[in-house]
Amino acid sequence: MCTYFVWIMSCTLVQYTYKYVEYVRRSTKRSRFEVGGGRSADSTCTQRKNHRPPIETKAAVADSSAPPRPASPSSLLSLSPSRRLLSSLQLSSPPNPNATDRLASPATRMADSDGGEANAPPPVLHRRPPRPRSGSAVAEGFASALRRRLSSGAAAAARASFAADSGDDSASGEPSSSRRRGGSNGEASSAAGGGEDFAAFTFRAAAPVHRKARESPLSSAAIFKQSHAGLFNLCIVVLVAVNSRLIIENIMKYGFLIRPGFWFNAKSLRDWPLLMCCLSLPAFPLGSFAVEKLVFNNLITDAVATCLHIILSTAEIVYPVLVILKCDSAVLSGFLLMYIACIVWLKLVSFAHTNHDIRQLTLGSKKVDNELSIADMDNLQPPTLGSLIYFMMAPTLCYQPSYPRTSCVRKGWLIRQIILYIIFTGLQGFIIEQYINPIVVNSQHPLKGGLLNAIETVLKLSVPNVYLWLCMFYAYFHLWLNILAEILRFGDREFYKDWWNARTIDEYWRKWNMPVHKWVVRHIYFPCMRNGISKEVAVLISFSVSAILHEICIGVPCRILKFWAVLGIMQQIPLIILTAYLKSKFKDTMVGNMIFWFFFCIYGQPMCVLLYYHDVMNRIEKAR
| 194 dihedral zone (left: phi>0; alpha: psi -120 to 50; beta) | left
Distance of CA 272 to the CA centre of its chain: 48
Residue 624's CB: how many other CB atoms inside 10 A? Answer: 5
Dihedral of CA 580/581/586/591: which sign?
A: negative
DSSP 377-442: HHTSS---HHHHHHHHHSS-SS--S---B-SS--HHHHHHHHHHHHHHHHHHHHHIIIIIHHHHHT
Task: Provide DSSP, 577-615.
Answer: HHHHHHHHHSTT--HHHHHHHIIIIIIIHHHHHHHHHHH
Q: What 3-state DSSP class applies to 511?
A: helix
Separation between Cα atoms, residue 457 and residue 203, nearest integer Å: 62
Active site (annotated) includes residue 550: yes
Q: How far apart are CA 517 and CA 512, in angstroms?
A: 8
Interatomic CA distance for residues 292 and 286, integer angstroms? 10
Mutual angle of helices 331-362 and 302-326, in 10-degree steps? 180
d(CA 334, CA 480): 20
Residue 201 has what DSSP assignment?
A: G
Phi, psi of 490 (to 5 degrees): -80, 125
Q: Roughly how many angstroms between the first and final C-alpha of the chain, as a whole number? A: 101
Which residues, in sequence order, are CB contacts of 536 under 8 Å at separation 6+?
Answer: none
Q: Which of 309, 356, 550, 614 is catalytic?
A: 550
Q: How far is CA 296 from CA 120, 349, 361, 384, 515, in A?
A: 107, 18, 13, 11, 28
Q: Are 409 and 489 in contact (CB under 8 A)?
A: yes
Q: What is d(CA 557, CA 338) in angstroms, rounded to the nearest whole number?
A: 8
User: Catalytic residues, which ones?
Assistant: 550
